[in-house]
């Protein structure tokens, strides 16, 4: 998977994890790339911390052979509805 597609995949996963139950706006986004590989990556996310107005999320993308494809961290503001 080329890096632009991996970037979009990680960003989409971070936004989805942050906004599971509410709309969010991106405040900060950092992506780190691992090794190149073949096949479909698996992305896992986790909410590291959440306050009333900010959500801190991390993601890890892994190739089928277990090698890291990339990771990301994001801070998202809870949007007013």
**Mean per-residue pLDDT over the chain, rounded:** 92
Specify whether the CB–CB gap between 18 and 57 falls below 8 A: yes
Domain that holds residue 51: 3-78
Classified as helix, coil or strand, 41 is: coil
Query: What percent of the chain is modeled with pLDDT above 70?
Result: 94
Q: What is the pLDDT of residues 4-24, one digit of tens each?
A: 689 999 999 999 999 887 899
Which residues have CB under 8 Å from 64's CB, separation 6+? 37, 39, 40, 42
CATH at 48? 3.10.129.10
pTM here? 0.88
Nearest to 54 by CA among 76, 74, 72: 76
State the average pLDDT over residues 18-40. 91
- Res 81: pLDDT: 64
- Res 3: pLDDT: 57
* The total number of structural domains that make up the chain: 1
């Amino acid at each position: 998977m080329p890096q632009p597609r991996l970037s979009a995949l990680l960003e989409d996963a971070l936004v989805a994890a942050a906004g599971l139950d509410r709309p969010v706006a991106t405040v900060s986004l950092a992506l780190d790339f691992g090794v190149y590989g073949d096949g479909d990556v698996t992305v896992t996310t986790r909410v590291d911390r959440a306050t009333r107005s900010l959500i801190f999320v991390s993601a890890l993308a892994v190739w089928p052979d277990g090698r890291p494809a990339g990771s990301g961290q994001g801070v998202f503001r809870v949007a007013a509805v």
